[in-house]
């Protein structure tokens, strides 16, 4: 069954993205923060339910990371456009995602459609991006609270992890011959 509850929750998260982006574009950081939190909680919920209810599907394995990438990339693109995060940071993450996607297509072409397991560094990059996005939104929602000192180092940590993850994926690809 493809449209089970976890997959419907993931589709709901994808459905939230345009509304979240709109709120970011009009500088309504309260609503953007609320939608970001709802999207993040739905991400936790769909994964938990899929495992607990034994409803992990190939569609869910595709949609969940896609929803994460769309949420983060659209979010960071708007935030870099509005000078809320550095453009270089967004550019590096975008380039990494493009290169990993191209590598995945080549990998599938060489060995067939097999599950490509994410590396821990990719998960850590997403973890950093989550907190950067959260802290930037809080920073612009509450004028008297500054999280700048928290999220600024995360730019460099996640950039370093992104470059390292590219190296790891390159090593995996080279082993294919």
Secondary structure (DSSP) of 78-98: HHHHTTSS-HHHHHHHHHHHH
Q: What is the mean pLDDT of the chain?
A: 89
Write down the pLDDT at residue 73: 92
Map residue 67 onto helix, strand or coil.
helix
| Percent of the chain residues past pLDDT 70, beyond the cut | 94
Contact of 72 with 55, CB cutoff 8 Å: no
The pLDDT value recorded for residue 3 is 84
Task: Tell me the pLDDT tens digit for each residue of 72-115.
Answer: 999 999 999 999 999 999 999 999 888 888 877 777 777 766 66
Q: What are phi and psi of 125, to 5 degrees?
A: -60, -45
Q: pLDDT class for 65, splitting at 50, 70, 90?
A: confident
pLDDT of residue 172: 77
Does this model's pTM top 0.85? My answer is: yes
**Whole-number Å distance between alpha carbons of 64 and 69:** 9
Please indicate whether residue 123 or residue 76 has the higher confidence score (pLDDT).
76
Contact 45, 11 (CB under 8 A): no
Question: What number is the average pLDDT over the span 22-31?
Answer: 96
- Would you tell me how many other CB atoms lie within 10 Å of the CB of residue 153? 11
pLDDT in tens, 128-154: 999 999 999 999 998 787 888 888 999
- Band (58; pLDDT cuts 50, 70, 90): confident
Domains present along the chain, CATH in parentheses: 5-175 (1.20.120.1760)
């Amino acid at each position: 069954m493809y449209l089970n509850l976890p997959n419907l929750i993931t589709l709901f998260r994808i459905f939230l993205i345009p509304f979240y982006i709109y709120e970011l574009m009009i500088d309504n950081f309260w609503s953007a923060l609320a939608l970001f939190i709802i999207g993040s909680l739905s991400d936790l919920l769909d994964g938990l339910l899929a495992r607990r209810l034994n409803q992990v599907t190939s569609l869910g394995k595709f949609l969940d990371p896609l929803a994460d990438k769309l949420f983060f990339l659209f979010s960071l693109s708007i935030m870099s456009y509005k000078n809320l995060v550095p453009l270089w940071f967004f550019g590096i993450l975008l380039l990494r995602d493009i290169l990993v996607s191209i590598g995945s297509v080549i990998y599938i072409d060489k060995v067939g459609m097999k599950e490509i397991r994410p590396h821990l560094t990719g998960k850590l990059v997403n973890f950093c991006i989550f907190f950067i996005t959260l802290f930037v939104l809080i920073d612009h929602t509450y004028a008297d609270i500054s999280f700048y000192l928290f999220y600024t180092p995360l730019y460099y940590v996640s950039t370093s992890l992104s470059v390292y993850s590219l190296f790891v994926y390159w090593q995996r690809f080279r082993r294919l011959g």
